Structure 1
Amino acid sequence: MSVCTSVLQTELQLTADEMRCIEFLEKKQPHLLQAYIENLARARRTILHRITASLLREDVFGLFSTSYDLRVIGSTFAMNLPKLTEHWEAMIRQLQNTNLQEGILYKIYSLNERECLIIPVSKEYSFRRFEIVGDILLTGNQLKKISHSTELLHLLKQKDSSKEVSKWGPLIEELENGSANLALAYAYFEEKSKKINVSFKNTVDTLDYIQQKQNTDPSFSAMLFFEQLCVEGHHLHPGSKTKMGMLPEDVFNYAAEFEGTPSLKLVALHRDLCDYRFFDHQEPNDFFFEHFPEFKNEIREFFATKEQKLEDFVLLPVHPWQWKNIIPDVYREELKDGTLILIEKVNIPAFATTSFRTVIPKDKDICVKTAVHSQMTSTVRSISPQSANNGAEFTKLIRKVMDREKQLAQTFIPICEIGGCSFRSDDTLKNRNLSVIYRENMEQVIHNDEIAIAGTALYAQSPINRKPILIEIIERYAKTLNIKSRKESAVSFIKEYAQVALPGFLTLLFKYGIGLEGHLQNTVPVFKNGRPVKILFRDWGGVRIHRPRLQKQGLDIQFYPGSITITDDLQEVQNKVFYTVFQNQLSEIIQQISKYWNIEESLLWKPVRLQCDKVFEQSAFNQELLEHIHEDKEALYQKKIDHKALTKMRLNPEQKRYFYVSVPNPLVSV
């Protein structure tokens, strides 16, 4: 540890993860060190606010239901206490010396007889989404500002009667790791923004920059630019930047927010140990050489020196982090007996995407999804044999469906998984960590006058003017249609977006029983002059299918043994769509608009509700679908709707199931 780092550790009370980031920057990226230090407090606050909002939304330990509300009215505190006790009087006396603001709702949560949490909420949005602003305070022996998510979790642990370290320890470590990585992302984004603004001084927004960049550099990919504009990650998950087990150097080299360029490695797995399925029953090595012909001679020569037959093996791309950190240990026996061979000289240049484990090989028309045994958000990002082998089967099904729905297929477009391979074993560690999925590159369906923007980039800051990308798009939309009013342009935009997105998600559900996982990472809206013209949907791993509905359409599908994709539980399929499409995708889009322009959310949810009604009504003439439509309308329009409880799930990892909480449904009130 350098003297500089030691001083910083004392002054800033650095966590171990923050220390590792600083040591990495000192050695490898010293020009980013100062920016990292300056962004530490911001990153800590972002993760703290995110976990607090999640705990409130999910009402963990009654944080929402048992807290009291305090508002400042002039010089008076107004609070909904049933009785003013000594405990509350002491708290109020402490708060009188603070700068509490009018217009903010302070949630007051009693931790014990002497301590309270003071949580400042500027607004509650749809689905009980809270915007936390300013400092979270702790009253007690002295008034203290909570500056890190781990401080909050240590305080809340005392409310857990089980006191199980196994619950809280991992979550605390994950949020510490995420905070450190987020500060690194903030620092890199600042440098990236400066470079763009120096090189393109006359740009007014990101869309203008994209156009100018394409004019000067024909190889520039707008699609990739937006894939990599994911500084803060998942907009709801407190562990959005968590990458457990990875060194800062790994994160910096391989993650999209750092414009990572992971070069895929290659292994050969003996056919006796490999399961694979491809869309057109193609042989896996033929598929590989079709897309990577430049390696054919080199690989054949390699096998000649090994006195092995290539035909006895299947070639599998591997993420470089997995190659270095997981393969040598997990597959030690196979490497020793020769059933797994490392082809060390092959390196496949690639670009990182929003999904860490999915990369785009340079100058290729496919994407490659690889297994990465690191926990990101709540999940270790390995790939199950079911996901690897089911992709091509689902592609066959979705193409049959879209062939029937020709009008829908013009604007609602699947980015299909062409094939996949996995390690055949009953050992979960082995069968999940040497898997690969090949997917179409969506550049193939984007026209020259269109821009595909990964859903996760919609709420990202513009490197040009710091506005959310979504706001820039709507401003371009308003200019295209000559709409002067912000409110009118926002409502009109949401109406058009819903017209493009909802017919696909809802029709596949009520007609075919297909529940797509339509959250923002899997959804890529395509715009033309600011107008939404297509929705691209991808990643079949989280799809759920209601077999009875599918079979009513004369369709069926056979998945890999042990798959949970197909189900007779209609609610599971409905929840998949309603949570990801409405509570994740549309809710974030509407909240961004409401927050930025101070537009009532109800004005924006109304066109969404009207479009849902329209989609249902257009198919109501079909007697065979009436029952399905009624079931889905009844579920979608409940006063309270299930919301996936991400933090509760993380605190109960042994349960291996989804947790939900009931939240108000904005589609009912409009």
Structure 2
Amino acid sequence: MTSRLAARRLALTAAHTGAALAVHAPELADGFAAALPEAADIVGRRLRGALVREGLTPAGPGDRWHAFHRVEYAEAGADDPADLLPRRLAGNAAGFAAELRNAVVNLAVAMARQRPEPAGDPDHAAVAGERLAVAGHNLHPCGRTRLGWDTGDVLAHDLEAGHTRLGFLAVRADLHLGDDVGAALREVYPQVPAAPAGYRVQPVHAWQRDAVLPVRYRDLLDSGALRILAGELDAIPTAALRTLLLPVAADGSRRYVKVSLDIQVTSTRRSISVASTRNGPAVSVLLHRLVAEDPAADRLLLLAETAGAAVPVGSGRDMGAILRDGLTGRLRPGEQAVPGGALPFVAAGLVGQFAASTGRRDDAGAAAAFLDAYARLVVPPLLRLTLRGVALEAHLQNCLPTFTAGVPQRLAVRDFAGLRLHPGRLAAAGHEVTLWPGSVIGTGDPDVLRAKIGYTAFQAHLGELIIRLGESHGLAEDAAWRLVRAVVDETYAGPGELAAQDHAAFTAATVPHKALVRMRLAGAGDEYLPVENPLHAPA
């Protein structure tokens, strides 16, 4: 693929989006065009770093290296990110190139739509905070990929839209599997339609209802086994898109509902498996039991998945729904929840608040003290859970740390679909859980368990924070990782063979890194590569 041809293909993709904006949102057209070069540069820089990190292209002189073999670039070095892909790249290179261009144009649309929004209750404030991370996932070059949506869909339902709609299906009872999510919603939202006799009401994303179900399930709709109901709830899209924040309920609380959305974001189509709908509530109960036994039980706040259901027809993934608790009413006076995706953008301000409230100067020393306090909030409970058989998917997108005057207080964690459970470790800790047959979250391999928490908590989460504190406060990375290593050492200070094994794995010379580009090229499953570990050197 020549550079000229690649640039032309991006130009065609952008022209198509620009034409759609001219019709549906002409006020965004100029902003979109102005944002395109920056959007292409952001996607290209992330891709360029990933290609080097994963050994697909060689490093160059002057590359800025960080922990875990991460490299950052000041510029992409190509007008079209797809032009950075090596020639004769094995696997789905052409498809991946299309994903990259899709990410560019949708990022440009998002940048053109960015507007400050006053925060409301903690849940509303969290969604508003997520919009700071306009590029999406902090490591994935396709954080803004929306394959399956056209520009009109993006305008109607993406994060920056600020609103979408939750629809409802009547599902014949013999086709419904799981909890009565519709009835649970109706208890606190009287506008949810009642179920006809012999049916259950199932929530569904309005786009999924209108664009997917009539095509794939026309026979069930024609026969009456599925009925599209007239009622809707207004909802707010979160950064996860398929997870929607619902209005304030009759009891004053807020709830989220995670619904199937058959579009591709980053590496995954965002439909919901039957297993996820059935495991979520059971795993939530298990996690609450485990957290209650932890010495730092008051420092972990779980957003429980209270009900889940699926319609196991077709793929079984197109009509899943999971109900989740919110934050509103659960925070203490003065406590502020920050969505993890926004943490890199507000960390400097938090350090300033931390310095003022602890009587420190706002300098590298204050940043180090802040990081130490934050690591002591995040690392010990997550590692102790792993020791007992649960590796949470603790990347930034699933975490909402809380602060009071900049001082870390609690770690709220949401979305349990991507965690890993080790039945042997759970049994040794006196716990068990029955998972849906074939569930991918269960593993008997401790390396798989540790890779999940190691990549999400250390690399994607703390790694990002440390880089940003270096930029804002001059905090040296080697000193920062020595602080984290000290917390790891203290967490595993007690006796025990498993503790020694986990400690050795997390402080080994190399650790597994999730190879995001190689996964897209292969088109299936997680893939890991070894990278240098900053936690290897003793504190």
| Interval of TM-score (by shorter of Structure 1 and Structure 2) | over 0.9
1:483 CA drift (Å): 1.5
User: Is the counterpart of residue 170 in structure 1 residue 95 in structure 2?
Assistant: yes
Separation in 1, partners of 2:429, 2:10: 59
Task: Decide whether the 8 Å contact of 1:223 with 1:443 is kept in 2.
Answer: no
Bigger mean CA deviation after superposition, 178-187 or 594-603:
594-603
Separation in 2, partners of 1:259, 1:471: 28
Q: Which runs of 5+ in 1 are unaligned?
A: 1-10, 71-104, 106-120, 137-145, 197-212, 278-282, 304-308, 460-467
Q: Secondary structure at the match of 1:663?
A: strand
Question: What do the CA deviations read for 1:258-304 (whole angstroms, capped 9, x no partner)?
Answer: 14211111101112111114xxxxx54431321322335xx36xx4x
Question: What residue number does 1:447 align with?
Answer: 332
Separation in 1, partners of 2:466, 2:240: 23
1:219 CA drift (Å): 10
* Structure 1 residues 220 and 573: CA distance shift in structure 2, 3 A: closer
Question: What residue number does 1:504 align with?
Answer: 381
Alignment of 1:327-338 (within 5 A): 327-338=213-224
User: Is the counterpart of residue 294 in structure 1 residue 195 in structure 2?
Assistant: no
Task: Decide whether the 8 Å contact of 1:288 with 1:315 is kept in 2.
Answer: no
* Structure 1 residues 12 and 531: CA distance shift in structure 2, 3 A: farther
* Structure 1 residues 568 and 135: CA distance shift in structure 2, 3 A: closer
**217, 231, 237: which one aligns with 1:352:** 237
Question: What do the CA deviations read for 1:173-214 (whole angstroms, capped 9, x no partner)?
Answer: 10010000111111122xx15xx7xxxxxxxxxxxxxxxx56
Alignment of 1:20-419 (within 5 A): 20-60=16-56, 63-64=57-58, 69-70=60-61, 105=62, 121=63, 123-134=64-75, 136=77, 146-153=78-85, 156-158=86-88, 160=89, 167-189=92-114, 192-193=115-116, 221-256=124-159, 258-277=160-179, 283-296=180-193, 299=194, 303=196, 309=197, 312-343=198-229, 345-364=230-249, 365-405=254-294, 407-419=295-307
* Structure 1 residues 457 and 631: CA distance shift in structure 2, 3 A: same
* Structure 1 residues 134 and 556: CA distance shift in structure 2, 3 A: closer
1:520 CA drift (Å): 0.5
1:547 CA drift (Å): 0.9
* Structure 1 residues 399 and 548: CA distance shift in structure 2, 3 A: same
Question: What do the CA deviations read for 1:387-419 (whole angstroms, capped 9, x no partner)?
Answer: 0110011011112212322x4221111111001
Task: Decide whether the 8 Å contact of 1:271 with 1:313 is kept in 2.
Answer: yes
Task: Decide whether the 8 Å contact of 1:389 with 1:560 is kept in 2.
Answer: yes
Q: Which runs of 5+ in 2 are unaligned?
A: 1-6
Question: What residue number does 1:306 align with?
Answer: none
Task: Decide whether the 8 Å contact of 1:228 with 1:352 is kept in 2.
Answer: no
* Structure 1 residues 591 and 440: CA distance shift in structure 2, 3 A: same
1:484 CA drift (Å): 1.4
**350, 356, 365: which one aligns with 1:479:** 356
* Structure 1 residues 269 and 558: CA distance shift in structure 2, 3 A: same
Task: Decide whether the 8 Å contact of 1:157 with 1:168 is kept in 2.
Answer: no
Q: Secondary structure at the match of 1:401?
A: helix
Q: Secondary structure at the match of 1:443?
A: coil
Task: Decide whether the 8 Å contact of 1:252 with 1:260 is kept in 2.
Answer: no
Question: What residue number does 1:650 align with?
Answer: 520
1:229 CA drift (Å): 2.9
Separation in 2, partners of 1:516, 1:244: 28
Separation in 1, partners of 2:111, 2:206: 24
Question: What do the CA deviations read for 1:488-519 (whole angstroms, capped 9, x no partner)?
Answer: 11100001001111121011111x21111101
Task: Decide whether the 8 Å contact of 1:223 with 1:451 is kept in 2.
Answer: no
1:247 CA drift (Å): 1.2
* Structure 1 residues 658 and 135: CA distance shift in structure 2, 3 A: closer
Structure-2-length-normalised TM-score: 0.94
1:329 CA drift (Å): 1.1
Q: How many residues align?
A: 528
**305, 308, 317: which one aligns with 1:420:** 308
Question: What residue number does 1:209 align with?
Answer: none
Instruction: Select the structure of larger CA radius of gyration.
Output: 1
CA RMSD of superposed structures (Å): 2.0
Q: Secondary structure at the match of 2:397?
A: coil
Task: Decide whether the 8 Å contact of 1:527 with 1:534 is kept in 2.
Answer: yes
1:228 CA drift (Å): 3.3
Separation in 2, partners of 1:337, 1:507: 52
Separation in 1, partners of 2:113, 2:181: 39
Structure-1-length-normalised TM-score: 0.76
Separation in 2, partners of 1:570, 1:255: 37
Question: What residue number does 2:4 align with?
Answer: none
Separation in 1, partners of 2:122, 2:332: 15
Separation in 1, partners of 2:305, 2:122: 25
* Structure 1 residues 331 and 489: CA distance shift in structure 2, 3 A: same
Bigger mean CA deviation after superposition, 447-456 or 519-528:
447-456
Separation in 1, partners of 2:329, 2:439: 30
**386, 402, 409: which one aligns with 1:533:** 409
Q: Structure 1: which 4+ aligned runs deviate by more than 6 Å?
A: 217-220
Separation in 2, partners of 1:424, 1:394: 21
1:59 CA drift (Å): 0.4
1:225 CA drift (Å): 1.7
Task: Decide whether the 8 Å contact of 2:127 with 2:239 is kept in 1.
Answer: no
Q: Secondary structure at the match of 1:410?
A: helix
Task: Decide whether the 8 Å contact of 2:182 with 2:192 is kept in 1.
Answer: no
